[in-house]
């Protein structure tokens, strides 16, 4: 009888570890450290059983647990919710040796991280992402934030967690559309740094497209580990997104604009999928991707993402709204737009201040069919 594969631990520099495995939820207390007396567990209303398991594991180690249920999805990431959590921490007398634990998708880990960063100028936080997107993106890297009416994640702080715990078993109940959206961020890591990711996705799709976009994907744990390694290496070299870390934003400038224009009714990964195709077309128009190899790489964006059921086109007639949203993006410098592009597979580069004619031409190439979501 074959035993369970032991967890994989990926170090993010010397700051913290990301633990990936099956049945690892009991390890939250180990990541927090021995001196934590109280923990605020921030969670959405949709995960009562998982939250109870995390809380029970902490209580078994003598930790006093305070539960904080927050709204689901982007509705959690508001100043009002943050203020409510600050109030709960204050009433419970949380000190700098106490901690916050975020249990949920990327919105919860973003929120929990920001609350931890801002309470007493910073207390420990352990993230327990329960979605694929959270595991490979939001929970890893120490970027925290909330939304305002003017845009997504415009208020936030860099606050590395004490640890991240990714239990792949929880993905078995994740809706397929949410898992596919998380795979968009995994695919992004393939294009910017680790082409083996693309090969694993393509081989899984060739064997069975339905399985490839589900938790039954035989490569899913390896895909998670590879994506986390990409992010861990970049984050360790550039904690505060001053240079190298910007490559992790591949596809995000246009993707975030879609999210804002659609009032966050699109899943993040769906918007980033279109954003990657957009920036691939932009790179070709700007001369970063040339010749047959460049054409093939642009086509590979579409083929890989569409094989996972992700959209690669966006509605025509929305250019003015999208451009306005992009100019408000936090990655812009003044009025100058910045894009991460590719010079080739796993060869990221920067495109600063491209002409508006090129920007609109690339939009035309992702909106010619006049489609919205291509599901």
Instruction: Please tell me which residue in 38, 43, 213, 245 is annotated as part of the active site.
Output: 245
Task: Establish whether 73 is an annotated binding residue.
Answer: yes
User: In angstroms, rounded to a whole number, what is the distance separating the alpha carbons of residues 356 and 8?
Assistant: 45
Q: Are 56 and 67 spatial neighbours (Cβ–Cβ below 8 Å)?
A: no
The answer on whether 157 is annotated among ligand-binding residues is: no
Q: Is 330 one of the annotated binding-site residues? A: no
Q: Which residues pair with 41 in a beta bridge?
A: 67, 101
Among candidate residues 38, 188, 213, 231, the one labeled active-site is: 231
Which of 53, 188, 226, 256 is the catalytic position?
A: 256
User: Does 221 participate in catalysis according to the annotation?
Assistant: no
Cα(first)–Cα(last) distance of the chain, in Å? 41
Nearest Cα to Cα of residue 194 among 161, 160, 234: 234
Helix/strand/coil for 117: helix
Q: Residue 268, annotated ligand binder?
A: yes
Selection from 236, 280, 254 nearest residue 332 by Cα:
254
CB contact at 8 A, 18 and 9 = yes
Rounded distance between C-alpha atoms, residue 221 and residue 140, angstroms: 16
φ/ψ bin of 232: left (φ > 0), alpha (ψ from -120 to 50), beta (otherwise):
alpha
Q: Please indicate whether residue 245 is annotated as part of the active site.
A: yes
Catalytic residue among 38, 43, 159, 185: 185
Residue 237 annotated as lining a ligand binding site: no
Residue of 38, 43, 124, 143 marked catalytic: 143
Of 331, 350, 330, which is closest to residue 340 (Cα–Cα)?
A: 350
By three-state DSSP, how is residue 154 classified? Answer: strand
Catalytic residue among 91, 121, 263, 333: 121
Query: Which residue of the set 268, 288, 301, 313 is catalytic?
Result: 268
Question: How do beta strands 38-43 and 8-12 pair?
Answer: unpaired
The answer to the question of whether 252 is labelled as a binding residue is yes
Q: Is 249 a catalytic site residue?
A: yes
Q: Is 301 annotated as a binding residue?
A: no
Residue 72 assigned as binding residue: yes
**Residue 252 annotated as catalytic:** yes
Looking at 241, 262, 306, 321, which residue is catalytic?
A: 241
- CA distances for 131 relative to 54, 202, 367, angstroms: 16, 22, 29
Task: Determine if residue 77 is labeled as part of a ligand binding site.
Answer: yes
| Extended beta strands in the chain, E state | 8-12, 16-21, 38-43, 64-69, 99-104, 124-129, 143-148, 151-158, 163-167, 338-344, 347-352
350 classed as catalytic:
no
331: annotated binding-site residue?
A: no
Which entry of 246, 249, 267, 302 is annotated as an active-site residue? 249
Q: Taking the CA atoms of the chain, what radius of gyration do you get in angstroms? A: 20
Is 185 annotated as catalytic? yes
Catalytic residues: 121, 143, 185, 231, 241, 245, 249, 252, 256, 268
Task: Give the annotated binding-site residues for Zn(2+).
Answer: 185, 252, 268
* Annotation: binding site: 72-77, 130-131, 143, 152, 185, 252, 268
The annotated binding site for NAD(+) is made up of 72-77, 130-131, 143, 152
């Amino acid at each position: 009888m074959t035993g369970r594969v032991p967890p994989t631990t990926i170090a993010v520099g010397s700051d913290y570890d990301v633990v990936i495995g099956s049945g690892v939820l009991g390890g939250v207390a180990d990541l927090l450290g021995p001196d934590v007396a109280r923990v605020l567990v921030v969670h959405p209303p949709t995960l009562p059983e998982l939250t109870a398991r995390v809380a029970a594991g902490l209580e078994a180690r003598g930790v006093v647990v305070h539960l904080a249920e927050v709204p689901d999805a982007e509705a959690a990431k508001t100043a009002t919710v943050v203020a409510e959590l600050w109030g709960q921490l204050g009433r419970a007398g949380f000190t700098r040796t106490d901690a916050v634990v975020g249990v949920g998708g990327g919105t919860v880990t973003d929120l929990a991280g920001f609350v931890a960063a801002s309470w007493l100028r910073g207390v420990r936080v352990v993230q327990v992402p329960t979605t694929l997107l959270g595991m490979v993106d939001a929970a890893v890297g120490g970027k925290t934030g909330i939304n305002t009416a003017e845009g997504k994640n415009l208020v936030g702080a860099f606050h590395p967690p004490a640890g991240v715990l990714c239990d792949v078993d929880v993905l078995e109940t994740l809706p397929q559309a949410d898992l596919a959206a998380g795979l968009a961020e995994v695919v992004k890591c393939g294009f910017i740094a680790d082409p083996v990711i693309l090969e694993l996705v393509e081989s899984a799709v060739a064997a069975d497209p339905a399985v490839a976009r589900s938790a039954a994907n035989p490569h899913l744990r390896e895909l998670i580990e590879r994506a986390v390694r990409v992010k861990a290496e970049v984050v360790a070299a550039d904690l505060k997104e001053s240079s190298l870390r910007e490559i992790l934003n591949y596809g995000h400038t246009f993707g975030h604009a879609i999210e804002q224009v659609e009032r966050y009714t699109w899943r993040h990964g769906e918007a980033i999928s279109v954003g990657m195709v957009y920036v691939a077309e932009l790179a070709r128009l700007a001369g970063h991707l040339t010749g047959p190899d460049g054409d093939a790489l642009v086509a590979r964006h579409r083929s890989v993402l569409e094989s996972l059921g992700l959209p690669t086109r966006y509605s025509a007639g929305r250019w003015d709204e999208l451009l306005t949203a992009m100019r408000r993006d936090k990655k812009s410098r003044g009025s100058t737009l910045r894009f991460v592009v590719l010079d080739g597979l796993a060869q990221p580069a920067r495109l600063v201040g491209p002409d508006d004619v090129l920007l609109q031409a690339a939009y035309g190439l992702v909106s010619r069919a006049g489609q919205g979501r291509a599901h």
